[in-house]
């Protein structure tokens, strides 16, 4: 049932009179939303219960898409419109072609090893216009039992990787963030934004105080489409920390936080605070015209109408088919 929430402050980023709506609930820790145009639905993870859920915009119903999902987290669409998703349980990035009406979850592993060792627990993912898959690999899925399976950090750190499916090459592109989490490109893909969620460490009982503790969104120059250079902290997100992030067609960064959704200019100026009644994990743009912001927050899925769309709507390169 659609439930109106509190009225939002006036903003040019929201349609006149826009209000936040709770459209579905019943998760324990909702994450990793993606809009599926062919199904007119938002697919997202309920990590702690090992499920994938799907909300139909057409029927208003929330259904279980998979109840043995191996603790999936972030997801996006590739250039052909197929789902690319992160699996904490498989310690892998995988592809699922189940995007049409009636299709069932049937993922295939794309990458799960860095050289001879396993990845940690891939968390969030974006696909560049050249088809390369960029993903974050913090340790939450192997350090927190409710988010995956216990394991070791086999390469000894937590990186952002670039995976070239055509060659099989997996390359670390960001190595200086303690807990890389959400990530997104600027509209022209000249910049890469990466959220650091290390203010909430993966294993607080074991990790010493000497390890960094951050809650900033970092930005990197993307060089030759494959290198991340000149990293710097753009803005600290408070209260809480940044988890999932998106960039809109004007280059603004939309970030989750403890209080809801915060929007920043490319220079780091805060433009909007959008309160959400529950701790917010992630978000995506969707709907028929791409201007509906869907928000996953702890147990529920919310939405609100905006005046913008995701940057991928204008990214260069082949169109999805």
Average pLDDT of span 75-81: 96
Q: How much is the pLDDT for 313?
A: 60
As a whole-number percent, the residues of the chain with pLDDT over 90 amount to: 88
pTM: 0.94
Q: How much is the pLDDT for 102?
A: 83
Is residue 318 in a domain? Answer: no
Digit-coded pLDDT (tens) for 142-159: 999 999 999 999 999 999
d(C-alpha 305, C-alpha 14), whole Å? 6
As a whole-number percent, the residues of the chain with pLDDT over 70 amount to: 93
Beta carbons of 73 and 58 less than 8 angstroms apart = no
Please give the structure tokens belonging to residue 231.
């990293």
d(C-alpha 23, C-alpha 9), whole Å? 20
Is residue 321 in a domain? Answer: no
* Average pLDDT along the chain: 93
Is residue 134 in a domain? Answer: yes
Please give the structure tokens belonging to residue 83.
């789902």
Helix ranges restricted to H, the chain: 140-143
CATH number at residue 143: 2.120.10.30
Q: How much is the pLDDT for 183?
A: 98
Beta carbons of 70 and 133 less than 8 angstroms apart = no
- Domain that includes residue 96, residue range: 3-313
Is residue 320 in a domain? Answer: no
Q: How much is the pLDDT for 9?
A: 52
d(C-alpha 263, C-alpha 251), whole Å? 11
β-strand pairing of 113-114 with 253-256: unpaired
Average pLDDT of span 200-218: 85
The DSSP symbol for 88 reads T
Residue 320, pLDDT > 60, answer no
Is residue 14 in a domain? Answer: yes
Query: Residue 147 in 3-state DSSP?
Result: helix
CB neighbours (10 Å) of residue 171? Answer: 15
State the total domains in the chain.
1
Residue 161, pLDDT > 50, answer yes
Q: If pLDDT is split at 50, 70 and 90, which confidence band does 266 have?
A: very high
Q: Which of 125, 138, 262 is nearest to 198 (CA)?
A: 138
Is residue 260 in a domain? Answer: yes
Q: How much is the pLDDT for 321?
A: 31
Q: If pLDDT is split at 50, 70 and 90, which confidence band does 124 have?
A: very high
Beta carbons of 119 and 113 less than 8 angstroms apart = yes
Q: Which of 10, 31, 77 is nearest to 301 (CA)?
A: 31
Helix ranges restricted to H, 17-163: 140-143
> Any residues with CB less than 8 A from the CB of 82 and at least 6 apart, and which?
95, 96, 97, 99
Q: If pLDDT is split at 50, 70 and 90, which confidence band does 312 have?
A: confident
Residue 191, pLDDT > 80, answer yes
Is residue 259 in a domain? Answer: yes
Beta carbons of 146 and 139 less than 8 angstroms apart = no
d(C-alpha 238, C-alpha 220), whole Å? 21
d(C-alpha 159, C-alpha 112), whole Å? 14
Average pLDDT of span 1-15: 62
Which range among 231-240, 263-272, 306-315 shows the weakest confidence by mean pLDDT? 306-315
Of 207 and 146, more confident: 146
Q: How much is the pLDDT for 208?
A: 67
Of 100 and 48, more confident: 48
Facing residues of 19 across strands?
7
């Amino acid at each position: 049932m659609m439930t109106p929430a509190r009225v939002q402050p006036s903003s040019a980023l929201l349609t006149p009179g826009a209000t936040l709506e709770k459209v579905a609930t019943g998760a324990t820790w909702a994450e990793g939303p993606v809009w599926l145009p062919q199904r007119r639905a938002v697919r997202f993870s309920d990590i702690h219960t090992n499920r994938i859920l799907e909300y139909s915009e057409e029927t208003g119903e929330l259904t279980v898409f998979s109840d043995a999902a191996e603790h999936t987290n972030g997801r996006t669409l590739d250039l052909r419109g197929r789902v690319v998703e992160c699996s904490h349980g498989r310690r892998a990035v995988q592809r699922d072609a189940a995007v049409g009406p009636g299709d069932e979850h049937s993922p295939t592993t794309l990458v799960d090893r860095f050289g001879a060792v396993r990845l940690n627990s891939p968390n969030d993912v974006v696909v560049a216009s050249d088809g390369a898959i960029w993903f974050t690999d913090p340790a939450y899925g192997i350090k927190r039992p409710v988010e995956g399976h216990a394991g070791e950090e086999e390469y000894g750190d937590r990186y952002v990787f670039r995976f070239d499916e055509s060659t099989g090459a997996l390359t670390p592109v960001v190595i200086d963030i303690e807990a890389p989490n959400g990530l997104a490109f600027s509209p022209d893909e000249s910049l890469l934004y990466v959220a650091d969620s290390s203010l909430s460490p993966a294993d607080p009982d074991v990790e010493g105080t000497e390890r960094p503790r951050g809650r900033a969104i970092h930005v990197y120059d993307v060089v030759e489409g494959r290198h991340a250079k000149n990293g710097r902290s753009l803005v600290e997100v408070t209260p809480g920390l940044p988890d999932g992030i998106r960039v809109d067609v004007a280059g603004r960064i939309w970030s989750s936080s403890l209080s809801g959704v915060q929007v920043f200019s490319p220079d780091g100026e805060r433009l909007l605070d959008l309160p959400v009644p529950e701790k917010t994990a992630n978000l995506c743009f969707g709907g028929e015209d791409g201007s509906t912001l869907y928000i996953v927050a702890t147990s529920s899925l919310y939405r609100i109408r905006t005046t913008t769309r995701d940057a991928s709507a204008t990214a260069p390169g082949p169109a999805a088919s």
